[in-house]
Amino acid sequence: IVWQTPANPDYIFRNGRYVKPYYFEFISHVKNRWAGKTIVDLFSDEFKGRPRDYYESAVKSGRIQVDGQKVSVSYVVQSSQKISHFLHRHEPPVMSWDVEILCEEPDVLTVCKPASVPVHPCGQYRKNTVVGILQAEYGLAPLFPVHRLDRLVSGLLILARSASRADLFRQQIESGAVQKRYIARVIGVFPDKQQVVNANVNYNAREGRSTVE
């Protein structure tokens, strides 16, 4: 699947950064193991996030197309054909308004990633991402994240301006020449001296936070 960041984003700032709903095209190409299936069987078998009735309706209305054309629900797909699935996207808001650029060089961009903003397009987020905001508001594209920070984490984020520069950074990270350091805010009385805690990090998906006891 090719994730496309829509051009000309329309942001709304009101107690956070919102994106006006927009239409988005998910693109995939028929794999060899998909060939010979009907278009509805393909989506029902491979993309189980929606019921079969939805895919039948989407094909009939033209929201699912093959090679840019409407097809019937009994249409049999062939290898390498382009399949488009058009959706009306409603992105969740993020709490931060800005992505602060700390240093801009010809081949490297360093920014302060705010909490609540994902680094790159993923899940429900396309425009409300660090990469999407920098592209829309500063015309900075393409960008290649060298590392990532979780959506709820803020901190220093390095983005390369080319694939070759990104590969060099990744090699340095893998070799230990570049390291990340996290600083956590704590409640209570914390030891004055350095203390090593060997404990599991418990993540609560419902509350969206991690804890260590």
Task: Report yes or no: 21 and 90 within 8 Å, Cβ to Cβ.
Answer: yes
Cβ contacts of 104 within 8 Å, gap of 6 or more: 110
Residue 129 CA from chain centroid, whole number: 7
Q: Give the DSSP H/E element, type plus range, for residue 133.
A: helix 130-138
Distance between CA atoms of 24 and 10, rounded to whole angstroms?
A: 14
Give the β-pairing of 100-104 and 64-66: unpaired
What CA–CA distances, in Å, run from 86 to 61, 132, 134, 162?
Answer: 11, 20, 25, 30
Query: Would you give the DSSP letter of residue 72?
Result: -
Q: Give the DSSP H/E element, type plus range, for residue 83.
A: strand 82-89
150 among known catalytic residues: yes
Among candidate residues 45, 53, 67, 150, the one labeled active-site is: 150
List active site positions: 150
